[in-house]
Amino acid sequence: MAAPDTGAGAVTMPLIDFQTHPDRYRHWKLEVDGPIGYLTMRVEETGGLVPGYELKLNSYDLGVDIELHDAVQRLRFEHPGVKAVVIRSGHDRVFSAGANIRMLSQSSHGHKVNFCKFTNETRLAIEDATGHSGQTYLAAVSGSAAGGGYELALAAQHLMLVDDRTSAVSFPEAPLLAVLPATGGLTRIVDKRKVRRDLADVFSTLEEGVKGQRALQWRLIDELVPKSTWQARVTERAKALAARSDRPDDGPGVPLVPLDRTIDGDQVRYRWVEIDIDRGRRVATVMLRAPESAAPAAPADALALGSRFWPLAFARELDDAILHLRVNEPDIGLVVFRSAGDPAAVLSHDALLVAHPNHWFLREVRLLLKRTLKRIDLTARSLIALVEPGSAFAGTLAEVVFAADRSVMVEGSLDGSPARASLALSELNFGWYPMSNDLSRLATRFLGDPGHLDGLRAKVGQPLDAGQALELGLVTFTFDRTDWADETRIMIEERASFSPDALTGLEANLRFAGPETMETKIFGRLTAWQNWIFQRPNAAGEEGALRRYGTGVQPRFDRNRV
């Protein structure tokens, strides 16, 4: 989005920063009352990322969701005593109108798709908090929840609707906008809420949506509440959800301090992550740095370090780096991962996380690492990992090697020094960081030979050289120092020369072998169907529904079914 889209009417986006703070929120208010957190959505109409649209009726753009993402993270880390979170509207008669239509109509194709992907990742983070962090979300819907607004509510574990004869839920995208209803919303109503397929079909073609008793009967909501008891019932339900949590009653949280990041031309520098961009080759090299010392001795020591605790600092930096490449560097099609430092230091931090799986802070750190690694999996870039002398691809960092589309390792040394490339496994590589398919990256890698995982587990903690890593199937190729430079150069240049469209489809098909889940369906459909629909003239053309919405002129459709 740093560069303008070539499509007609697209608007050039400024550099987008995913860092924010509640003091700077324009669209959300975060409040805590004992064990209950409240996220109140009151979108500032003039607070869009770029000029050209107003965020009316609690409609949102990427900037609104960046704040929501930040709030979800802060509730998990900064407020350990919060056990239930209520999402509500700051307006009386509207919950949220969903994604802003004017924003979509003037955005580049890439921005639309990345926007949808990020909003879904944020909603999955809400579901992850409910499922694994003891921080259950409740959606208190008063007024209209349309499209992406209803999808936001669907991310909650419990969905309440006020029975006031006007409040309703709807997916109006197909009849109004000629796009896929709410992207992940269709999957959530049938897979998560188990709405009958025929009723879901009717629901997704009704502009006005469904309200009251019918919404309850169709399983579109969990609870219908009279207006006279609305506030009391929301509080009562939130307290009941909080009572089920294993989070601590009190204790210090961990402030998520601003990242130490500098952007200087083609370089982006953090403390533990570095990006170097080669625009001529359309390649970004991402260097991952291991901690400089072993892990703290106990969870209390890690908690005392707060945001300086290496796994947390590293995860936050890598997450921001991946988002930066996604939205601000659309022409960079290939990401090459390298690493440096002491593998033993990585393994010691992994051991601490494994030894204390239920400590609230260490659990949150591990879950953030899981979500960050998923962000890599779901990024539409080719991924190559280079395992060289001095690399630190061990345990958690080795997950990046297993996430890559290809990985290459040096045999022996590169410069005649005694240093040799090595790769090491930790217990965290075996199911602690599941992909979207609910399998570990190793289990996905060896889907046809699940027994192989037992042999790999026996290697935990051992430094594996190139020959061993290749024999065990942990890397794709190995090259000695004679061939290393030429072979890796040819591989990178060849990959960068292929069609980006073909590669996006190829990679999305190959990365998630094995069982289908709600999550893989959401992103598979985003990659294929919404990607396609957003480029079709019926939606995005000059006479399409997105451009003619609100003008009073009916869109003109190409009636051929493809």
Which domains are delineated in the chain? 22-242 (3.90.226.10), 262-510 (3.90.226.10)
- Given this model, what pLDDT does residue 21 score? 97
- Given this model, what pLDDT does residue 517 score? 95
Mean pLDDT of 442-449: 97
CB-count burial class (<10 Å; 0-12, 13-18, 19+) for 137:
buried
Q: Compute the Cα dihedral for 183, 188, 194, 200 and give only its sign.
A: negative
pLDDT band at 520 (very low <50, low <70, confident <90, very high): very high
Cα 203 to chain centroid distance, Å, stands at: 27
Calpha distance 216→60 (Å, rounded): 26
- Beta-carbon contacts of residue 155 (< 8 Å; ≥ 6 apart): 123, 124, 126, 127, 137, 139, 188
Identify which of 381-390, 408-417, 505-514, 549-558 has the greatest average pLDDT: 381-390
Q: What are the counts of helices (DSSP H) followed by strands (DSSP E) for the chain? A: 23, 20
pLDDT band at 4 (very low <50, low <70, confident <90, very high): very low
Out of 328-337, 350-359, 422-431, 502-511, least confident range: 502-511
Q: What is the per-residue DSSP string for 13-64?
A: PPPP-----GGG-SSEEEEEETTEEEEEE---TT--SSSS---GGGEE-HHH
Q: Which amino acid is present at 68?
A: L
User: What rounded mean pLDDT belongs to the chain?
Assistant: 94
- Beta-carbon contacts of residue 182 (< 8 Å; ≥ 6 apart): 98, 147, 148, 150, 151, 171, 173
Calpha distance 497→280 (Å, rounded): 12
- Given this model, what pLDDT does residue 11 score? 58
For the segment 85-141, what is each residue's pLDDT rounded down to a tens digit? 999 999 989 999 999 999 999 999 889 889 999 999 999 999 999 999 999 999 999
This prediction's pTM: 0.95
Mean pLDDT of 35-60: 96
Tell which wins on pLDDT, 389 or 9: 389
- Given this model, what pLDDT does residue 150 score? 97
Please provide the size of the chain in residues: 562
- Given this model, what pLDDT does residue 6 score? 35
Residue 5 pLDDT exceeds 60: no
- Given this model, what pLDDT does residue 182 score? 61
- Beta-carbon contacts of residue 212 (< 8 Å; ≥ 6 apart): 161, 163, 165, 224
Helix then strand then coil, in percent of the chain rounded to 5, is: 40, 15, 40
Mean pLDDT of 52-59: 96
Tell which wins on pLDDT, 369 or 3: 369
- Given this model, what pLDDT does residue 80 score? 97
Calpha distance 152→112 (Å, rounded): 17
- Given this model, what pLDDT does residue 453 score? 97
For the segment 211-262, what is each residue's pLDDT rounded down to a tens digit? 999 999 999 999 999 999 999 999 999 999 999 999 999 889 999 999 999 9
- Taking Cα atoms as reference points, which of 13, 29, 7, 130 lies closest to residue 62? 13
